[in-house]
Every structure is written in C-alpha cells, then in structure tokens.
Amino acid sequence: MFRKILIANRGEIAVRVMRACREMDIRTVAVFSDVDRKSLHVRYADEAYLIGPAPSTESYLRIDRILDAARRSGAEAIHPGYGFLAENSDFARACEDAGIAFIGPPVSAMELMGSKTASRRAVLEAGLPVVPGADRNLESLEEVRHIAGEIGYPVMLKASAGGGGKGLRMVREESELESAYRTARSEAQNAFNDSAVYLEKYIEHPRHVEIQILGDRRGHLIHLGERECSLQRRHQKVVEECPSPAVNDDLRRRMGETAVRIGKLAGYANAGTVEFLLDPQGDFYFLEMNTRLQVEHPVTELVTGIDLVKEQVRIAAGERLAWRQEDVRMRGAAIECRIYAEDAANNFFPSPGRIARLQAPAGPGIRRDSGVYEGWQVPLEYDPLLSKLAVWATDRAEALARMRRALGEYEIQGIRTNIPFFRRVLEHPDFVAGRLDTGFIDRVLAAGLMEEEPPSEEEERVALLAALLHVERNGGAEPAGATDRNAWKHAGRRALLQRCPERAGGRS
Amino acid sequence: MKFHARLHRGSKTLEREVELVAHDTANGLRRFRIASQTAEAHCEEITPGVYSVLMDGRPYEAYISNRPGDPPGHDGPFHVVVGLRRYLVELRDPRRWRRTGSSIEAEGPQEIVAPMPGRIVKILVTEGQEVKGDQGLLVIEAMKMQNELRAPRAGRVERVYLAEGRGVEAGARLLRLV
C-alpha cells in the first residue's frame, strides 16, 4: 500500500480524498494556488506545496508543477479528484512515466471513453444501446431528411463542434426540418466557426440515470447500482439520489450489466460512471462515460456502504477488488444537494465573498462533504461548489424529510447560497412523487418556484427589532467578521464621525 | 432611542417610527414600540450580528450585516436576514441624521454596478433603449459561469459605460438607468 498520496485538486473533493487516506493511515500532500493558501484542503493535509497563481491554467492544470510537488514530497501516487486534470490522459501518462501511480483508469481506457464519438461508436459496435442517430457530419438536407425518416421524429440537430445549446434544434416533424437545418448550421457557423451538424433521436422527458462501476486491474468489474441525476440546471447536476425512483431491480440489473460490458470493452479499471438517458418507457441509451470519481459519489457510498475512494486507492495499489457482484447490496435511500455560492433569489448569480457565519446540519443520517469554513473567503476563480449535503434514511420518504430538516439547520451567512432553492425543490409535489426528468428545474423555475410569499407582520417586526438591538449594542458597527477589516472601513468610520461630531465622544 | 425606520424587501418599503424602550430586568423582556404598537420580546445576542428573539414564545433568529461596499454607517442600512427572507433596514435618527431622503433609490437615475469582479461577455442593450423590469442588461462571466444581470426596474438605458470584453471590479459602474 502507498505511504503518501498527493491530491491534485482543491475544495471539498480534496478534503474528501484526504479523509479516506487518513483512515487508511496514508500521508496526504496538498497542492494549492496563491489564493488557496487558507483553503481547507491546505489546512487539512499533512504537507502542502504552492504550485502557482490563481488561474487554474497556471496552477491546478500545470502537470509539470504538480509532478514537481509529488517528487519533492515523495508521494507514490496521485489522486486527481474530479475536474481539472482528472480526465486528462496526458496527465495520467506523465504520472506513469514519472513512476507515480495515477489513481484512476488505464490511459488507454481513458482515451477511448473520453472521446464522445469514439466511445459511442465502440458501444454501438458492441450491439449496446445508444441514442439512435448519425454520428457523422451531415452534408446535405437530403441526407438529414433520409436519416431523420429512418430513426423517426422528433429528432435533434446538434452542432458537431457544439456545446452550450448553440446550434441545437429540436425538430418535431418533417415540415420543420428544412428551416431547422439552416438555422442550426448558421448558428454553429457563428458560434464555432464550423457549420457541421449531426442528428440524434430526441428523447422526450428523459431521465439522466448513471451506473457506478468499479473494477480492479485484473479484469474483475462490478457495478454499484444507479444514481438518479435528472435534476440539472444549465446541464449541471444539482440534486442526486440513489436509488432512482424510476429503477426497479430488473432494470437495475440490465443497466448494470450493460455498464459493466461497456467498461470491459474499454478495458476499464478503477472507479467510473456510465451515463444513460432513460426514457419514460424504460428504454435506456448510452450517453457517455466519466472516467473518474463523480461529484455525486456519496449517495452510492451511503446506500452500498462501499467507500469508493478507498477502493480507488486499493485498486491503484494493485490490490484485488474484494467485492463480488452478489456482495453488493443496496440499503435504504440517499439524496445529495450541491450547495453552491450562488444567489438563488437572483437568477443564481455567483456570490463569492467571506463566509461570515456557518452553522452546519448534524444528527442522524447526515453527511456533509465541505471544503469551506466560517471566516473563509470564497474565491471567484473556481467552481462555486461549497459543500455537498447528503442524507441517508431507510426509504426515500424519510430521506426527503431528513434532507428538509438538514437544509433547515444549514445556515450560511455573508454570501448567498442555493439552499433556499433546495428547500423549495424538496417540497415540490413532482419531486416528492419522484416524477423527474432533465427539464424539471427549468420548468419549475419558469412556473415561479422562487417567488416569495409575503412575510408575516411579526417577521417584519423581528427584522426591525433586531436592527434596533444591533444599533443599541454597537452603534451600528459591523458584526465581527461580517466583512474584511480594510483600511477603507476605518477611513469610512472616521469620515462618518467627522460628519457627526456630536457622536465622536462615544455612543449615546 | 427613537428612529425613523425604513424596511425594504424587494420593491416594497415599509416606513415606521420605531423605538427600543426599557429593559425589564425582572422578566428579561425588552419592550419596543413600532408605530403606535408597544410589544415585548426576549432578546439575546448569540454572536456579534446574530440575535435570537422570542416573540410570545415563538423563536426567531436574525442575522445582521452591512451591505457589501457600504461604509460602516451607524444607522445602517443593514441587511437583516430573518428565516428565509432578506430585508434592508435603514434607521434614521431624526435629531442627528441630516442626510435627506433614502439611500435606496427605487426611482430616479440608477447606476447599475458590477455585483462582483468578472468580465463583460455581452451587452444586451444599447444606449437609449427602453427596458422592462427584470429584462437582461448584460452578461458577466465570473466563477466559471456566465450570468445575466437584469434590470431592477423598468426604465431607459441612458448610458453604457463599458465595452464587451472588459474586465471589471466589484462595484464598477456598468450602465445608467433613468
């Protein structure tokens, strides 16, 4: 087993990996950028090394500097977390070349599954389900018409160079095809300087359901059931649960076996996730594979009792996977909410700044993976994920009640968060009933999910009373720690005192 | 201590004469007056800026902070969070405070400032354009996300101070809405 591991990441996931290492009696090495000197992962690690300035291209994405830190510290392995270099096969190869174990899949599997088109082709050739369509550029309207007719409407036109919804057109029937084709092409040309488009069957009201797989380097590969990840905003998952309300034992077995076959054809080892679209009829289609630990891995851990990070470390160290498929048992239900520094009441605007107050939920069934602490300044250079709040309970209904309770206990002040948004989502009748699809969040937001009810008179009285108490208590001075103590603040206070000379003698 | 208070929430403003009266040491209650109504509550400071208020047995917690970027005024305005709602409270001492009018402008010209450092990706309006409340004005990129800044109210864009592609600091003037 390794004695020392470097974690090439920051925030909550770096802390999560270090926690596993500490329990395994492995020493941990953090790397950090200028602005992360006071970050939790740096404070938590056994050793920490500066790798550059704030922009991630100059720090967390610098393979050379990360490997330098690994050599300096004598780390024998590197865990990449998720994001940054986690799916960069050059990084994995550079680690291996430097004689440092990369805690992730083999380079060849990463390269095959990392390409959307190559992985789709490989899955298709193996006779496994992918979303029907043409995985090549379509040069003429006739060609588009022909293929659309073959796979059946509705279809989706997509820019080959695409992303971010540009060059994306849904076509319900043939009469719409011509104009949709032209606009998709011109949008793609404007956005990506490449007018190439391809075509896929449009799956209506799809769920996003993914299967966790885990395998050792000897070809033993199992699945750990599914995660329901349909709740997404801007193509980013915000709530995940395990099990999915839409998956029964039979479907789980079929999806799981498909995921394991996909893993095997890629020669996959370590932890990975196979993403599927699940349609309302119960048919599922391969979407893509994530060749790393997922953000939402805690819900699987809570329900299966298997610590994925520890398994990743053991597999990378060459150990055999101790679990057989029949040993994997799913027990109870888990839900996770991703707590972001963004203002849910104001169009989810990012809200960096200082966490003036933090009170975390606790008690039965709560798991909180956090990368922050009270008094910390949330930097604006990185992803605004503050923490992941997960709960486990004996069934989904109890898990929902527990999550509502935990969200009610979670208090973060000084910056805005999306906690108020989750409180409402968890009370939405469709969510409670498990009626989810990838359009859920946009739909409920458009329907006024975040509209506030007017406050009670009593609450308004409390707001006024609190302000009075505050002024009496400290003459309106800021609460300690509400913002940075800057020179301008004292200058402002002096200026104010000069403006109100009668007050300079002290508070009245 | 007698104050003229303004309580803002969204586009609504409540104006009241308010006063914190006596501290009754016998039962630990604070007496206060809002307009002509006098009431009592158990009040405790939990940590600086955090107050626990028991109103007829019903518990509330209020968290108070200055608005970011504001000088530390003695009378606010403060952000006051009670439960899930955020209020802006101004307390004006009618005897001392000489400034006229409110610092919160719901009408009249309004400078739209950058809520955070970032980069202007796209400007969605032009000078002279009439906009509706909540209409998108421009797109700022920060924290790896593109975010639309929307009009706080209806009006006309009198000036656009910056060009697309520019980096801005928090509080930088972006547009003037009249």
Q: Is A481 at the interface with chain B, CB within 8 A?
A: yes
| A417, A338 Cβ separation under 8 angstroms | no
- Separation of alpha carbons A238 and A206, rounded Å: 16
Contact at CB, A489 and B145, closer than 8 angstroms: no
Q: Looking at the structure, do residues A218 and A72 belong to the same domain, yes or no? A: no
* Full domain range(s) for residue B67: 2-92
Give the count of domains, chain B.
2
Contact at CB, B72 and A350, closer than 8 angstroms: no
Show which of residues 113-172 on chain B sit within 8 Å of chain A, judged by CB atoms. Answer: 115-118, 142-145, 147-150
A290 DSSP β-pair partners: A273
Q: Is B111 at the interface with chain A, CB within 8 A?
A: no
CATH classification at residue A142: 3.30.1490.20
Q: Note the pLDDT tens digit of each residue in B124-157.
A: 999 999 998 778 898 888 776 777 788 877 889 9
Residue B63 lies in a domain: yes
Rg (CA), chain A: 25
Mean pLDDT computed over B28-54: 91
User: In 10 A of CB A132, how many CB atoms?
Assistant: 16
Give the gap in angstroms from C-alpha B147 to the nearest C-alpha of chain A: 6
**Domain's final residue, options A180, A201, A222:** A201
Residues 6+ away with beta carbon under 8 Å from A53 = A33, A34, A59
Q: Is A374 at the interface with chain B, CB within 8 A?
A: no
Catalytic position from the list A62, A120, A292, A396? A292
Give the gap in angstroms from C-alpha B75 to the nearest C-alpha of chain A: 6
B80 DSSP β-pair partners: B64, B87
Q: Report the pLDDT value the prediction gives residue A195, as an integer from 0 to 100.
A: 85
Q: Looking at the structure, do residues B121 and B167 belong to the same domain, yes or no? A: yes
Contact at CB, B68 and A353, closer than 8 angstroms: yes
Q: How confident is the model at residue A452 (pLDDT cuts 50, 70, 90)?
A: confident
Contact at CB, B82 and A466, closer than 8 angstroms: yes
* Full domain range(s) for residue A173: 132-201
Give the count of domains, chain A.
5
Q: Which of A345 and A60 is assigned the larger pLDDT? A: A60
Residues 6+ away with beta carbon under 8 Å from A245 = A228, A396, A434, A436
Mean pLDDT computed over A134-145: 85
| pTM of model > 0.90 | no
Q: How many CB pairs under 8 A join A and B?
A: 177
**Distances, alpha carbon A411 to alpha carbons A339, A418, B40, B43, in Å:** 11, 11, 27, 20
Q: How confident is the model at residue A87 (pLDDT cuts 50, 70, 90)?
A: very high
Contact at CB, A382 and B144, closer than 8 angstroms: yes
- Separation of alpha carbons A412 and A359, rounded Å: 7
Which one, of A376, A399, A211, lies nearest residue A302 by Cα?
A399
Mean pLDDT computed over A433-452: 93
**The pair of three-digit structure tokens given for residue A347, joined into one six-digit string:** 């169009």
CATH classification at residue B142: 2.40.50.100
Q: Note the pLDDT tens digit of each residue in A270-290.
A: 999 999 999 999 999 999 999
Q: Is B14 at the interface with chain A, CB within 8 A?
A: yes
CATH classification at residue A81: 3.40.50.20
Give the gap in angstroms from C-alpha B18 to the nearest C-alpha of chain A: 8
Whether residue A500 is predicted with pLDDT greater than 60 in this model: the reply is: no
Q: Note the pLDDT tens digit of each residue in B81-115.
A: 998 888 999 888 776 544 444 445 445 678 888 87
B8 DSSP β-pair partners: B13, B88
**Domain's final residue, options B62, B92, B122:** B92
**Reported ipTM:** 0.72
Q: Note the pLDDT tens digit of each residue in A13-51.
A: 999 999 999 999 999 999 999 999 999 999 999 999 999
Mutate to test the interface with B, among A84, A349, A378, A456 (most CBs of B within 10 A): A349
Q: Looking at the structure, do residues A299 and A446 belong to the same domain, yes or no? A: no
